[in-house]
Amino acid sequence: MTSLLIGVSVLAAVLLVLLAAATANTSLFASNYDLLIQLNVAVACVLGALVVWQLVGIFRARAAGRFGSRLTVRFLLLFALMALVPGAVVYSVSVGFLGRSIESWFDVRVESALEEGLNLGRAILDIMLNDLDAKARTAALDLADLPPVQQATALGRLREQAGVDEMLLIGSTGVLSSVARSGTRILPDLAPPAALRQARLSRLYRAVESESEGSLVLRVIRPVIPQSLSDEQRLVELIQRVPERIAQSAEAVQSVNRDYRELALSRVALQRTYVFALTLTLLLALLSAAILALILSRRLTAPLATLAEATAAVARGDFSRRAAVLSADEMGTLTRAFNSMTEQLAGAYRAAEDNRQQEEKARAHLENILASLSSGVIVLDEQMQLVAVNAAASQILDRDLAGLPGARLETEPAVAAFGRLVSDRFARASQWQEQLELETGKVLVLRGSLVAGGDRADHLVVFDDVTALIQAQRATAWGEVAQRLAHEIKNPLTPILLATERLRAKFADRLSPVDAQALERAVDIILTQVNAMKSMVDEFRVYARLPRPTLEPVDLNRLVDDVLSLYEHARERIRFEPAAALPAVLGDARQLYQVVHNLLQNADDSVTARGEGEIVLSTALVPGGVLLAIGDSGGGFPEGIIQRAFEPYVTTKPRGTGLGLAIVKKIIDEHHGTIELANRSAGGAEVNIVLPLAEAQSGVGG
């Protein structure tokens, strides 16, 4: 080790001299400057690692009271002090002088002017891109009002109205129609698939692109909302050429700014070069001093400390340590006997360690397999007692089963129904499959199998949470039912209204006052019920054909304030606690307005039914997005309703349709958010909604 330390120190000194020569731009080393930097850093790292490794051993030896450790520490501190004090003075003076000298070579006003010019060009392009985006939005709305067969023919008229250079209508198979001011397309290639995919998902793609001649072109793509779910979703693309003078000016400013930045980077690189060289010099000086102290102390203490260090290593369990034989006298004989003993101990220890590692590897491999499964896995012994369980099983069952080895599942209250089902099925068959709905509302699919091996037989249960799949299937089925009911119910409503009005107009004047009054009451009842049915049909339509949300940044606090303006009559029992500096969420303001209005209306109805109470709304920034909490002191959710509250037609209101919470759940799912219902411990209901942040989801080009 001493020879290695000396060799590395000499190599570091040689490389440092070469680096100083290369920094002076000599013709011999300038072309290999980067290589010299890398070599110096590598040598410094190796040297530092060696010194650190030696220091760790020294301080450990000193803490253990090993012979010679205190002398080594004294040498190290003395040499480090001799190198650090003059080196630090020279380093601080040199760094300050270099910083002031190099900074005086550059004028800050030129950099500021170039930056302002570059920002001005970007602002102009942003204004033009926003204007083209507004035209694209108008064109998409106009095309959405036309049947698909007429959209292509209307493209030319829309391009003339928008005053753009080129407009394209894009379908799933490619360009359906295109019109250009000059007759030929500005950009012959279709937009990249990633841009089309972004336009369909985020409903907008906008970018500034360069042509082959160096001119700039603005491209905006927006989706055309189909008139029905069966229609193909199309995209409208607008292309506008940036005026040549603006493009040339922007390119000129950017080119000059780029050149100046290169100069500025060279300034920083030059300054860093000298600072790096000085830092490396000081570092190598300190490391060299430490190495010299280590070498001198080792030469003084090595003959006496060799056997003591080897003995301490064996006492710590390090049987690979061998004491160096430094002489041929009695000390050498004792050292050789010690080495022979440690070699025999090492062989026995390696054999025991190999057996332990094999067992640990097998166990870790099995645990990794179970931990990586998304399905729950439970292993029971012959007495149906818990043997093993993975993390997914505890998560699905909402009960930590890892700390229950040897327990029977049917005796645990949280999983008693699960345990009884498993025990009953294994009592009937060695292999089975079953579906189970827990009290929490989760739906599980279980598969059981008897695994025999050796003199024992274990019961293996594998299960998955299919609640989300079941809920999605139910939502789809209810959507189809709602659409069919809306269609079937609405058709006879208009004839009923017309016939009722005709009866009133025809017989009101011919009947006696008593009969006319009875007729009027009957007509009013019919009209009231028909209007109620029309309202129900409208809710059916909203649920069955809820439009896709137009996602954009939304100030949630302001949106809640807007909804609260509808409840001025109940403001004395409504309290809003907005979070300060709340970031914007990504959502459709109109649909989120409907969500808050529906939930606030439900809370107000619940509080009104009890005659007293309050409603509390609050917002907060939480991991994953923004939380909107709405709580009331009303009657809360019944236990039989809370697990199915999001299903259509599940309601506790005498005149309710049960579509309010179903629509709210559908809107929140479309916004990639989460919604949870709960009963407050003090009484009443609470709804917690988490919406994603606009910053985390923003990805538009431009």
Q: What's residue 128's pLDDT? A: 85
| 24, two tokens | 């002076």
| 569, two tokens | 């009559």
- Name the packing angle between helices 244-315 and 108-144 (round to 10°): 110
Tell me: do 537 and 561 sit in the same domain. no
Asked whether residue 361 is domain-assigned, the answer is: no
Q: What's residue 316's pLDDT? A: 73
Tell me: do 565 and 671 sit in the same domain. yes
Q: Which of 101-105, 534-538, 694-698 bottoms out in mean pLDDT, i.e. has the lowest? A: 101-105
Question: Comparing 38 with 147, which gets the higher pLDDT?
Answer: 147
| 631, two tokens | 């709580």
Res 227 pLDDT > 70: yes
630 lies in which domain range? 552-697
Asked whether residue 563 is domain-assigned, the answer is: yes
Residues 659-669 have pLDDT tens digits of 677 778 888 88
Q: Which residues pair with 574 in a beta bridge?
A: 615
In this structure, the strands spanning 674-679 and 685-691 are antiparallel
- Of 521, 544, 567, the one marking the end of a domain is 544
Q: What's the mean per-residue pLDDT of the chain?
A: 76
Q: Specify the 3-state DSSP secondary structure of 430.
A: coil
Residues 503-524 have pLDDT tens digits of 777 777 777 777 778 877 887 8
Res 95 pLDDT > 80: no
Polymer length of the chain: 702
Q: Specify the 3-state DSSP secondary structure of 577.
A: strand
| 97, two tokens | 């002088």
Asked whether residue 362 is domain-assigned, the answer is: no
Closest CA to 83 of 220, 284, 335: 284
Tell me: do 689 and 658 sit in the same domain. yes
Tell me: do 540 and 559 sit in the same domain. no
Q: What is the DSSP letter of 514?
A: H
Question: What is the Rg, in whole angstroms, of the alpha carbon atoms belonging to the chain?
Answer: 40
DSSP string, 308-374: HHHHHHHHTT-TT-------SSHHHHHHHHHHHHHHHHHHHHHHHHHHHHHHHHHHHHHHHHHHH-S
Tell me: do 577 and 668 sit in the same domain. yes
Asked whether residue 609 is domain-assigned, the answer is: yes
Tell me: do 642 and 676 sit in the same domain. yes
Q: What is the dihedral of CA 493, 497, 503, 505, to 10 degrees?
A: -170
Q: What is the 3-state secondary structure (H, E, C) of 650-686?
A: CCCCCCCCCCHHHHHHHHHHHCCCEEEEEECCCCCEE
Mean pLDDT of 614-636: 91
Tell me: do 561 and 679 sit in the same domain. yes
529-560 exposure pattern, b = at least 16 Cβ within 10 A, e = fewer: ebeeeeebbebbbbbbeeeebbbbebebbebb
Tell me: do 460 and 513 sit in the same domain. no
Residues 42-55 have pLDDT tens digits of 777 777 777 777 77
What are the backbone angles phi and psi of residue 643, rounded to the nearest 5°? -75, -20
Residues 452-483 have pLDDT tens digits of 766 677 888 888 877 766 666 566 656 656 55
The answer to whether 665 and 646 have CB atoms below 8 angstroms apart is yes
Amino acid at 530: V
Q: What percent of the chain has pLDDT over 70?
A: 70
Other beta carbons within 10 Å of 428: 7
Q: What's residue 214's pLDDT? A: 61
Res 310 pLDDT > 70: yes
Q: What's residue 14's pLDDT? A: 65
Q: What's residue 628's pLDDT? A: 94
Asked whether residue 504 is domain-assigned, the answer is: yes
CA distance 168 to 237: 5
CA distance 342 to 305: 17
Question: Comparing 666 with 282, which gets the higher pLDDT?
Answer: 666
Question: Comparing 189 with 552, which gets the higher pLDDT?
Answer: 552
Q: Which of 101-105, 304-308, 353-357 bottoms out in mean pLDDT, i.e. has the lowest? A: 101-105
- Of 544, 569, 591, the one marking the end of a domain is 544
Q: Specify the 3-state DSSP secondary structure of 170.
A: strand
Tell me: do 578 and 656 sit in the same domain. yes
**577 confidence band (pLDDT: 50, 70, 90):** very high
Tell me: do 488 and 399 sit in the same domain. no
Res 701 pLDDT > 60: no
Q: What is the DSSP letter of 375?
A: S
Res 106 pLDDT > 60: no
| 3, two tokens | 């020879």
Question: Comparing 121 with 137, which gets the higher pLDDT?
Answer: 137
Q: Specify the 3-state DSSP secondary structure of 72.
A: helix
- Of 514, 544, 574, the one marking the end of a domain is 544
CA distance 169 to 443: 45
CA distance 200 to 210: 23
651-677 exposure pattern, b = at least 16 Cβ within 10 A, e = fewer: beeeebbbbbbbbbbbbbebbebebeb
Res 553 pLDDT > 90: yes
Q: What is the dihedral of CA 634, 635, 641, 642, to 10 degrees?
A: 50
Q: What's residue 587's pLDDT? A: 92
Tell me: do 687 and 559 sit in the same domain. yes
CA distance 143 to 223: 10
The answer to whether 300 and 68 have CB atoms below 8 angstroms apart is yes
Could you tell me which residues come within 8 angstroms of residue 390 by beta carbon, excluding any fewer than 6 positions away? 370, 371, 373, 376, 377
Residues 390-446 have pLDDT tens digits of 888 887 777 787 767 778 888 777 788 888 888 888 888 888 888 887 776 677 888
What are the backbone angles phi and psi of residue 321, rounded to the nearest 5°? -75, 130
**586 confidence band (pLDDT: 50, 70, 90):** very high
Q: Which residue has the tokens 């009013």?
A: 524
The answer to whether 343 and 320 have CB atoms below 8 angstroms apart is no
**627 confidence band (pLDDT: 50, 70, 90):** very high
Question: Comparing 12 with 120, which gets the higher pLDDT?
Answer: 120
Mean pLDDT of 496-503: 76
Tell me: do 21 and 52 sit in the same domain. yes
Q: What's residue 616's pLDDT? A: 92
Q: What's residue 617's pLDDT? A: 93
Asked whether residue 334 is domain-assigned, the answer is: no
Kindly report the CA angle at 83 between 77 and 84, in degrees rounded to 5?
80
CA distance 665 to 687: 11
CA distance 137 to 154: 15
Question: Comparing 88 with 127, which gets the higher pLDDT?
Answer: 127
Asked whether residue 250 is domain-assigned, the answer is: no
| 334, two tokens | 């004792």
Report the CATH number that the domain containing residue 173 is assigned in CATH.
3.30.450.20
Q: Specify the 3-state DSSP secondary structure of 432.
A: strand
Res 161 pLDDT > 70: yes
Question: Comparing 624 with 701, which gets the higher pLDDT?
Answer: 624
Maximum mean pLDDT: which of 307-316, 460-469, 675-684 = 675-684
Looking at the structure of the chain, the number of domains it has is 5
Report the CATH number that the domain containing residue 582 is assigned in CATH.
3.30.565.10
Residues 73-85 have pLDDT tens digits of 777 777 777 777 7
Q: What percent of the chain has pLDDT over 90?
A: 7
Closest CA to 307 of 349, 345, 341: 341
The answer to whether 393 and 463 have CB atoms below 8 angstroms apart is yes
Q: What's residue 702's pLDDT? A: 34
CA distance 551 to 555: 12
Kindly report the CA angle at 462 between 457 and 467, in degrees rounded to 5?
160
DSSP string, 199-268: HHHHS-EEEEEE-TTS-EEEEEEEEEPPSSTTSPPEEEEEEEEPPHHHHHHHHHHHHHHHHHHHHHHHHH
Other beta carbons within 10 Å of 197: 12
Asked whether residue 350 is domain-assigned, the answer is: no
Res 650 pLDDT > 60: no
Maximum mean pLDDT: which of 266-270, 487-491, 505-509, 561-565 = 561-565
Q: Which of 78-92, 330-344, 644-658 bottoms out in mean pLDDT, i.e. has the lowest? A: 644-658
Per DSSP, helices labelled H in 414-568 are: 416-428, 467-507, 513-544, 556-564
Q: What distance separates the 2 farthest-apart alpha carbons in the chain?
A: 142
| 433, two tokens | 């499959």
| 333, two tokens | 């004989």
Res 605 pLDDT > 70: yes
Closest CA to 22 of 11, 34, 12: 34
